[in-house]
Amino acid sequence: MERRNKGNVNEGSKEKGIAMKVSRVSIGVNVILSLFKLLAGIAAHSGAMISDAVHSASDVFGTFIVMIGVTVADKKSDKEHPYGHERLECVASILLAVILMLIGLGIGIGGVQKIIHRDKETLVVPGVLALIAAVLSIIVKEWMYWYTRAAAKKINSGALMAEAWHHRSDALSSVGAFIGILGARLGAPILDPIVSVGICICIGKAAIDIFRDAMDKMVDKSCDEETIRNMESAIISTPGVEGIDLLRTRMFGAKVYVDIEISANGDMTLNDSHKIAESVHDTIEKEFPQVKHCMVHVNPTNPPKQIAAMHSI
């Protein structure tokens, strides 16, 4: 006896709408912020602020990757892809993780070079406008991180979560720029490259975490233990279910596929066992909205005597 989830088209469209809204806001904010930081860096003679402006501009490219990934992942199943396209969102997450890692390495390498060659550089003290731009960037990008992170958690989007960390990396970059600019104005320009190396490590860790999460979803990793325990509790509390013989879960992009085998009274009719399986399916679908596909199989707890005799041979 099997019962399968047909999918929720409206839920998918809602998730896509949220992701697109967040992405549009992200693009608008990044374009305005990048231009402001670039002009401030040029006017205040701050190389750190100009680099930070380029970093913010790279976020626009990352957001376009998220939009493409979410749009393609939302496509309906077809003949060539009967299980849907959700894993393409993982591809977008991996691309963003690579971009984050490259940005982090670029910041770190630049910081190390400045430390090594600090005596050979002609250091220019940046103006106050660069400090103002750095503070504004920290506030705006940190707000964008929390705004995007909340949306990512709401729709369980790995690509959107990667984009949130992209905003956080930009905020950290601006913190480094602020410390470096302030340090230069106070007579300690070495603070800029030292902080840059620290930012590189933070960005690199975020990139590795995003990459690992995306790869887990690409290779059918099971759900976390808490989710599995909650599913077991929901199944066993369904009227008519006498036991759980099997419960397997696997991540498929941001969605979950579930295979369940339950035990029920073997003397009941096919209609009755079907109703129990349907109740289990509907319970899982209702309590766990991230589940896209649920299959339920019913095993008899007391099989007919002739079947039991066959198994004993």
- The residues with which 257 forms a beta bridge, in sequence order, are 250, 293
Residue 165 · residue 100 · CB < 8 Å = yes
Quick one: DSSP state of residue 123? -
Strands 255-264 and 291-300: parallel
pLDDT at position 303, please? 57
Per-residue pLDDT tens for 240-289? Answer: 999 999 998 887 766 788 999 999 988 888 899 899 999 999 999 888 88
Q: Quick check: 123 pLDDT over 70?
A: no
Could you identify the residue written with the tokens 């550089």? 121
pLDDT at position 1, please? 46
pLDDT at position 12, please? 55
Structure tokens at 15: 């998730």
pLDDT at position 70, please? 66
Q: Quick check: 19 pLDDT over 60?
A: yes
- Using the Cα atoms of residue 103, residue 105, residue 107 and residue 110 in order, give the sign of their dihedral: negative
Which CATH architecture does the domain made up of 225-312 adopt?
2-Layer Sandwich (3.30)
Alpha carbon distance 96, 131 (integer Å) = 29
Q: Which fold has domain 9-218?
A: Alpha-lytic protease prodomain-like (1.20.1510)
Average pLDDT score, the chain: 78
Quick one: DSSP state of residue 120? G
- The DSSP result for 217-266, as a single string, is HHTTPPPPHHHHHHHHHHHHTSTT--EEEEEEEEEETTEEEEEEEEEE-T
Residue 237 vs residues 79, 243, 265: alpha-carbon distances, Å: 37, 10, 15
- Nearest alpha carbon to residue 93 among 71, 74, 70: 70
Phi, psi of 246 (to 5 degrees): -155, 140
Q: Confidence band (pLDDT; 50, 70, 90) for 142?
A: very high
The residue ranges of every structural domain in the chain are: 9-218, 225-312
